[in-house]
Structure 1
Amino acid sequence: MATRRKRLVKVILLGDSGVGKSSLVDQYVHNKFTDKYKATIGVDFTTKEVVVGDDVMTLQIWDTAGQERFKSLGVSFYRGTNACVLVFDVTSHRTFQSLETWREDFLVHGSLATENNEFSPFFVLGNKTDLKDREVCRETAEEWCRSKKEVLPYFETSAKDNASVAKVFETIARNARKAMVTAEPEETPLSVVKPVTNDIASWEGDETKSQCNC
């Protein structure tokens, strides 16, 4: 059985404090959810492996603090990113409006691990769909995603109900693999060279035999 190739995928989660970034990561990686809110201090990361085709994709998921005072700290972790996930709370229009700032911040300070214009590094998540009193409808979010030069993939999730959480990260893994494979140089096929031989019989055929009757 052939050994699967391992690829590292760096994923950054950006968004205001309280939108549920840490809850999304906990639900996806550890299959758990808690209603107790605990703000992320600085930056934290965890990993999970996903099999895509013949490859094992190790998702290195970076959960960044959403507080303004930690923004400068997070910038240094933007570099070498494969996917940037912009998260907002569907019950808070303010967090949705902040997406533009987070996106611009990444474009200014971040750098991609794989430079490939065919694949956008951005994914947009409208989280907390399990809550009532929604302030941002799906149509508004999708319109914002379509307004960008590269249309941004949009998902609606609930970390509490585990709704579409795995789907998001599996999509990220597949897109990252496509970008990596596309960016890889094509292998030049080796020319088949016929070996040189001094054996006359090998190139004159079986008819070449000794005529000696001794």
Structure 2
Amino acid sequence: MDHSCLRIVRFDNLSHRFHRRVLILRRFSRLLWNRILACTPGKSRRYLLLPPAAPSPIPSRPLQPPPTISAADGAPFICEASVYRRDDSYRKSDSDLVSLKISLLGDSQIGKSSFLAKYVGNEKEVEKAQEKGIILMDKTLSVGGARISYSIWELQGDEQTRDQIAMACKDSVAILFMFDLTSRCTLNSVISWYQQARKWNQTAIPVMVGTKFDEFIQLPIDLQWTIASQARAYAKALNATIFFSSASYNINVNKIFKFVTAKLFDLPWTVERNLNIGEPIIDF
């Protein structure tokens, strides 16, 4: 091969290497640009090129029973941060979810809405729905490999909403009977709420929840003992587990729903009773 041919081959090789490097550089630049777009708030430009998908009709299908979760599946309760307004005209359907209803009952102004807002993690949405009489919120959990959507119904508790007890309690798997630890009249009302709820639901797990524990511990110790003793006596009469809680300091809020989940799916429950005055009581 003469020198001219060698020069041509070398030139072709150099040209090929140059184009390959340019191609690699272009691909790297495109990948880097896409990642920058993905991290930018708002919609990515390349997604804007896709036409909006038309909503598909929701097929009617028979209700599926909840999944069986054994004690061996006692995995952590993981929140997937899914919160929906249940009063919307259209609700997203997910065939992979098992929807379970939980009701919150008790007098008005005892902290039910703050308790619910603390659990679902969306105070603004709860505030928007307060004027409707019943607040309905969803929260999705991953438990032992299953996805569970808790539909939580809070009845505001004033006289105008008493006629909605049937709607709030029907089909619930658990009912939380709530009272203000600093107000004995709201504790006395628990019996009435229980009697009315049992007219419409005989099988829901009963749980008594005392709210505002952070204010309760400011009371004289003898008054704390009196209220705690009465609350425990009521819980025993109702065959209910009782929790003292505080939404402001997130005391026992998540633990209550973990307890309900453990009871529903026969998961191990490791929390011990706490009967010490001055501490958030748990009795079952």
Partner of 2:258: 170
Partner of 2:207: 123
Match of 1:56 among 147, 150, 172: 147
Count of residue pairs brought into register by the alignment: 164
Contact 2:184 2:227 in 1 (8 A): no
| Runs of at least 5 residues in structure 2 that lack an aligned partner in the other structure | 1-68, 70-95, 268-284
Contact 1:43 1:74 in 2 (8 A): no
Partner of 1:144: 234
Greater C-alpha Rg:
2
Within the alignment, does 1:44 sit opposite 2:140 as a pair? no
Deviation at 1:49, TM superposition (A): 1.5
Per-residue CA distance 1:9-57 (angstroms, 9 max, x = gap): 1000000001111100101111659xx9x96531111111222223222
Task: Tell me the percent identity.
Answer: 24
User: 1: distance between equivalents of 2:234 and 2:132?
Assistant: 29
Structure 1-normalised TM-score? 0.69
Deviation at 1:111, TM superposition (A): 5.7
User: 2: distance between equivalents of 1:176 and 1:169?
Assistant: 11
User: 2: distance between equivalents of 1:103 and 1:164?
Assistant: 22
Deviation at 1:79, TM superposition (A): 1.0
Contact 2:165 2:197 in 1 (8 A): no
Contact 2:135 2:153 in 1 (8 A): yes
Deviation at 1:138, TM superposition (A): 2.3
Partner of 1:106: 197
Contact 1:17 1:39 in 2 (8 A): no
User: 2: distance between equivalents of 1:93 and 1:70?
Assistant: 22
RMSD value, Cα: 2.6
SS of the equivalent of 1:159 reads coil
Please state which structure has a larger fraction of its residues in helix.
Answer: 2
| Runs of at least 5 residues in structure 1 that lack an aligned partner in the other structure | 113-119, 180-214
Match of 1:82 among 170, 173, 183: 173
